[in-house]
Amino acid sequence: MQTYNIHEAKTHLSRLVEAAAQGESFVIAKAGKPMVKVMALDTPEPAQKRRIGFLKGKIQVPDDFDTLYADEILELFGIEK
């Protein structure tokens, strides 16, 4: 792992950042004393994908779901059956 002093790191910052992004970490030192280690960030994990059927077996849909409360709904709109 390479060590660069602060002045050298400032001078070549763009090149050093590119190298770190490619996996080549390095150390920045002040007066010969290591101060920080620069390394690439891990790429963020993609958001969890939506899964069809993840509630299977956990909920139940009644057989008359399509007509559930149909009479009450019609009554609310003033429609007689």
Question: Domain ranges in the chain?
Answer: 2-38
The answer to whether the CB of 38 falls within 8 A of the CB of 26 is yes
The answer to whether the CB of 26 falls within 8 A of the CB of 49 is no
Tens digit of each residue's pLDDT (9 = 90 or more) over 8-41: 999 999 999 999 888 888 999 999 999 999 988 8
Tens digit of each residue's pLDDT (9 = 90 or more) over 38-69: 988 874 566 777 888 888 899 988 888 888 89
The answer to whether the CB of 1 falls within 8 A of the CB of 25 is yes
State residue 23's pLDDT score.
Answer: 84
CATH superfamily of domain region 2-38? YefM-like domain (3.40.1620.10)
State residue 44's pLDDT score.
Answer: 52
